[in-house]
Structure 1
Amino acid sequence: MKFLVLLLLVGVEKFSAWRRRIQNDGPWLRMLAWVEARPTVRPRAALALLVLLPVALLGLVLALLQPLAYGWLALPLHLWVMIYSLGRGDVLAELGAFRDAWRRGDGEAALRAAERDLGVSGETPPALLENVQGYLLWHGYQRFFAVIFWYALLGPLVPLAYRLLALAAERAGDPALQRRAGQWRHALDWLPARVLAASFALVGDFVAVSRVLLHDLLAWDLPAAQLIAHAGRAAGDVQAAPLGEGGVAGLDALWQLLVRAALLWYVAFAAWILLV
């Protein structure tokens, strides 16, 4: 059933508007505001209410549905949870204004678009482009790859926990709560980020990625975003190009790298199902 859910997930994301309807964070954000309005609640207790409680409720519902109709009644719930657990927004749409400005050679407009749409800046055009490349790789990973990795490995509970932790790290107003959520999320990022980096080596420049991963493969403190950015640029042989078409071509190459890695993951998961 997992592979069917992952196939349906791609279809729903690409060809329907369900994702926008399902990804309604309003109730959870109201719960976050309620928790933050009580300063006596410690960050661990807050995350227990905001993350562990919804995950526990989902686990209870799935346990009730699993014995019915050979588990097929749980399929719509699996799909709903996976759609909700995907990242917010559309990274290609977010890059649109930056790409247009960079293609025109307008560095000022590119900087304004990157700061406004991506929250990314750079002191020089090459530094700005490198940061945008890292944004593309990181958000491609955290919006899709981390979610499907944990679903394939452990089912829908961990993807839901991952997305709620990401929301807490991004939307919480309490720095202590943000920091604790970021620590928990870092633990969930450690393994899938390295699997994706290894996938980049298989679908891109194997030797270049191997050099990048040689010293950082087991480094616990290395942020997943930094590892993914370094491995992706090495695999795609992408450099910080000057203003113009070359920089846009580099972004396209990184996107195609992500697409090839996704195909590799789906093929590997299908082969695992057939062999196990």
Structure 2
Amino acid sequence: MSFLVLVLILWVEQFSAWRHRLQRDGFFLAELARLERRGRVSADWSLVLLVLAPVLLLALLLYVLQPVAYGLLALPVHLLVLLYSLGRGDTKAALGPFRDAWRRGDEQAALHVAERDLGLAADDPRDLLVRVQGNLLWQAYQSFFAVIFWYVLLGPAAALGYRLLALSAAHAHQPALKARAVQLRHLMDWLPVRVLALSFALVGNFVAVTRVMLHELLNWHLSAGQLIARVGRVADDIPQQEEAQSALARLDSLWELLLRSAVLWYAGFALWTVLL
């Protein structure tokens, strides 16, 4: 059933806007703000209430539904939870205003748009392009690949847990709560980001990626965003110094690298499903 859900996810993403209608975080963010205002609840207990409790309730619901009608009642729950757990917004579309400004040669507007739409800032335009390339890789990873990885490995409850941790890390204002959410998300990112990096080796520059991974494979302190940005650039053979317009065009080639990796993952999941 998991592979069927993954195929349905692609269909829904391509032909409907269900994900954007379903991804309403108001209730979760209100609960997060309420727990922070109370101040008496520790960071660990806050995450238990915000993340672990919904995950356990979902796991219990699926345990009850799974034996009913050969699991058909569990199918829509899988689909809805996975849709909710995917990333927010449209990663590629968000780059549109930045690309338009850069093509016009208006570097000041490009800097402003990158800060407004992508949350990226840089003093040097070339450094900004590198940051935008890394941001594309990171957003694609955390929006899709990490969620799919945990869904296939441990089911929809794990995918939901990843997204709730990501929301907690992004929106928490209490330092202790934010730090613990970031720490736990780093733990959940450690394995899937390395699997994606190895996928880049298979669909990109194998030698360059393996050279990087030999040094960084077990590096616990390297963040997922830093690793995927570095590996993605070497997988796509992006030089350190490049013409501005060529560097902008690299956004399309990086997106194609991500698409090839997604096809590889789906082929692997299909083979795993057949063998099991």
Name the TM-score, length of structure 1 as normaliser.
Answer: 0.98
Q: For 1:147, give the aligned amino acid.
A: V
Q: What's the offset of the Cα at 1:154?
A: 0.9
Q: Deviations over 1:130-149 (max 9, x none)?
A: 01111000000000000000
Aligned to 2:275: 275
Aligned mates of 2:84, 2:111 — CA distance in 1: 31
Aligned to 1:48: 48
SS at match of 1:82: helix
Aligned to 1:237: 237
Aligned to 1:106: 106
SS at match of 2:92: helix
Runs of 4+ aligned structure 1 residues displaced above 6 Å come to none
Mark the runs of 5 or more structure 1 residues left unpaired by the alignment: none
38-47 vs 233-242, which moves further: 233-242
In the alignment, is residue 122 of structure 1 matched against residue 130 of structure 2? no
Q: Deviations over 1:18-43 (max 9, x none)?
A: 11111011111111111111111000
Q: For 2:175, give the aligned amino acid.
A: P
**Pairs within 5 Å for 1:1-276:** 1-239=1-239, 241-244=242-245, 246-276=246-276
Aligned mates of 2:181, 2:198 — CA distance in 1: 26
Q: What's the offset of the Cα at 1:105?
A: 2.1
CA contact (8 A) 1:129 1:241 kept: no
SS at match of 1:37: helix
Aligned mates of 2:54, 2:154 — CA distance in 1: 17
Aligned mates of 1:272, 1:252 — CA distance in 2: 30
Aligned mates of 1:207, 1:28 — CA distance in 2: 44
Aligned mates of 2:104, 2:220 — CA distance in 1: 41
Aligned mates of 2:165, 2:110 — CA distance in 1: 31
SS at match of 1:120: coil
SS at match of 1:41: coil
Aligned mates of 2:214, 2:105 — CA distance in 1: 36
CA contact (8 A) 1:107 1:243 kept: no
Q: What's the offset of the Cα at 1:247?
A: 2.2
SS at match of 2:45: helix
Q: Deviations over 1:62-109 (max 9, x none)?
A: 111011011111000000000000000011111111111122222111
CA contact (8 A) 1:125 1:242 kept: no
- When the two chains are superposed, the root-mean-square deviation of aligned CA atoms in Å is 0.9
Aligned mates of 2:236, 2:184 — CA distance in 1: 30
Aligned mates of 2:237, 2:97 — CA distance in 1: 24
Aligned mates of 1:113, 1:49 — CA distance in 2: 37
Q: What's the offset of the Cα at 1:241?
A: 3.0
Q: What's the offset of the Cα at 1:243?
A: 2.8
Aligned mates of 1:201, 1:222 — CA distance in 2: 19
Q: What's the offset of the Cα at 1:126?
A: 1.4
Aligned mates of 1:107, 1:247 — CA distance in 2: 14
Aligned mates of 2:102, 2:212 — CA distance in 1: 28
Matched length: 275
Aligned mates of 2:181, 2:146 — CA distance in 1: 16
SS at match of 2:72: helix
Q: What's the offset of the Cα at 1:274?
A: 1.0
Q: For 2:208, give the aligned amino acid.
A: A
CA contact (8 A) 1:47 1:181 kept: yes
76-85 vs 204-213, which moves further: 204-213
CA contact (8 A) 1:55 1:160 kept: yes
CA contact (8 A) 2:129 2:248 kept: no
